[in-house]
Amino acid sequence: MPRGDPSPKLAITVTPEIHSHILAAASRDGVSVSAWMTMATREALRRRLDLDAVAMWEQQHGPLTQQEMDEARQNVREQLAQPVVQRT
């Protein structure tokens, strides 16, 4: 019996095109395929939680207006234009 808290393993099937993209992305990022898939999954789950939070907010307050959406898009554009600060 393994010690500690071993990570469960998943077996997945992907198309050849997706497979090559995953391999290339992991290589570009300098991580294993397993690490890259874990990061990608975390990001997908975070986005899903974010979308769920927006949906819940809209249920309570009504749909976001076009002006609110435009302001949010502008905010994201400005954030993406800022250089990433490296932690030391």
Token readout for 30 is: 């300098």
- Nearest 5°: the CA angle 5, 7, 9 is 150
Q: What is the spatial distance between Cα 58 and Cα 78, in angstroms, rounded to a whole number?
A: 24
Domain extent listing, the chain: 16-81
Query: Do 43 and 33 touch, CB atoms closer than 8 A?
Result: no
pLDDT at residue 4 greater than cutoff 90: no
Q: pTM, whole model, 2 decimals?
A: 0.69
pLDDT, tens only, 54-69: 999 999 999 999 999 9
Q: Which stretch of DSSP H or E encloses residue 80? A: helix 66-81
pLDDT at residue 88 greater than cutoff 60: no
Produce one character per residue of 13-26: b if its CB has 16 or more CB atoms within 10 Å, e if not. eeeeeeeeebeeeb
pLDDT at residue 12 greater than cutoff 60: yes
pLDDT, tens only, 29-51: 999 999 999 999 999 999 999 99
Average model confidence (pLDDT) for the chain?
92
> Distances in Å between the alpha carbon of 49 and those of 14, 20, 75?
24, 28, 20
